[in-house]
Structure 1
Amino acid sequence: MIKYQTLLYYCYSRISDAEQFASDHLQFCKSLNLVGRIIVADEGLNGTVSGTDESCKIYMDTLHADPRFSKIDFKIDDVEEPSFIKMHCRYKAEIVHSGLRDPGIIDPELKTGIHLEPEDFVKMKDDDDIVIVDVRSNYEHSIGRFKNAITFDIENFRDFPEKINELAKYKNKKIVTYCTGGIKCEKASALLLHEGFENVYQLHGGIIKYGKEAGGEDFEGKCYVFDNRVAVDVNSVNPVVISTCRNCGTHTTKMINCANPECNEHFTQCDACGEKLDGACSVICQSHPRIRVYDGTGYYVKVPQPINKEKLKPVKA
């Protein structure tokens, strides 16, 4: 039986001729029969890839052998099947879109918040002088977040800078930022320091690392991930479900895209309402003439196609 893994990682490290690197790296990933999504920018890499255990090991070993990427902290999940359909590796201006590209203001390689290891976060998260800040988008924290965390109604991380003023009253506190894997916190914490916050920390490795190394205590709900799994379990200590079905209010962790392709809104919906509304977010969307066929997952790809597991068999080094 073939075993699969999904790797989540990022690395802020300067890449010369990053556009060519993205093209070459795509071919390298395809040679390993990996599937996933990687963003390459002049400032580094941000990726999630999935494939056989052997292919993933070759991939990690190869990146770690490159001095630019030797410090990458891979978050590894064992999965029953690959977490993507295709392999994408694209060049972009930033590895996480913030709109903050002035190196005089934000450069995670030079200055960022203190990296707080999961076990240290457990010890201090309930202290009176600690403020826990979620820097993710609203649809992410709607399905899961740390107990007592401050969240923002933002659709994209690039909206975070506009919310800094809401934290002004906490300038005399210790601010701990967190996100899925840590990448957004590198820039969020750097921005907070630039804005005059003095005691800024970030949860190293994000929610995923915290779940693996500290049991996920006090993370309520599930963690949103950007692949076919949509959301994963984190808390094995005191788990609860906090998200509710938009249509009936029942507690559910299931997040789908509206079956109406012109709406395509990301939202939580229980199985009963999904069946009743054919995966649409409302009766209006259910009646749309181009409504997509709802298969119970609420996950749609541009060109539906089965995963060719024959191509994903272990490669030979």
Structure 2
Amino acid sequence: MTYITRIAALLSTALIGAGTAALAQDDSQTGADIFVIGGKADDPFWSIVKRGAEDAGQIVEAQGGSVTWLGPQNYDNLGADAADLIRTAISQGADAIVGPNWVPESMDEAFAAVVEADIPLILYNAGGLEAADRLGALNYIGSDDFLAGKAAGEYFAQAGVTNVVCVNTLPGAANLQAQCAGLAEGVTAAGGTAEELPLPMTSFGNPTAVSQAVKAHLLQNPDVTGLYTIGNVDANSASIAITQAGAAGRVQLGGFNMDQTILDNISSGAQLFAIDQQGYLQGFLAVSLLNNHVNYGLTVPTRQILTGPGIVDASNVEATLAGVQSGTR
């Protein structure tokens, strides 16, 4: 558990108690109804973000409000489906909305409708400060995807891995395209090469499809020495593909996000590193800030609150395992 995660946990405990006391003193307080747009609830990464939002939601509920999570059924039509969820939040009377700007060309119009309705908006996870400025959001909370990819590329290069493939199972999603671009810059600045391997969106979350596609690419391109994946499920699939392609001694693996399997792989040497964006904090901080803004008019002067990128590798993997076991990493 990082220092900032410990602080968040302490604040959560303190504020829940304070919120309960305040509610007991003023039964007329109605609180804020906050809607959070996110990924599928059974997505390993998004379940952690949801956990953070729900933990902050204990404060919201103690003050008479509510937190509602809205996620797509699948990722086949991500931008359009997410835009529909934003409009659903508006129609259901949201006092504040949190959402990722995954596909700007599909989602910007819906986010604009949020601001036009005078509903406070925080962008998180995808989009960055540029999108927050463009759309009129209060803050952006999350990792800078380009910098995350660049950090991964630099790490690969420092480890002597200079022919890297970015496996993208959600091509067209702006944040993931930015990661692949950042990866390429980090690797090429050190004299290496990088390319993107775009797979059909239907392959996202399909371990067999990803493993087979990555295996085929490695067999067809024996000069590849590194793989980077945009999510933890894909990293586990890529790890299997490396083994099946007989490339365990040649290809190093890194990726965005992590889970127990990935940390075990880092411990054993089967994966080189993982980029941590601290999704728990994204959900927790976004809901907490909006709740205080709606109820008390509070804001923070920092409009871009970065929760990453951090690198988890053999040097700090043991310290990270406790956070995974608690559902916060």
TM-score in same-fold range (> 0.5): no
Higher share of residues assigned helix: 2
Q: TM-score, normalised by structure 1?
A: 0.30
Q: TM-score, normalised by structure 2?
A: 0.29
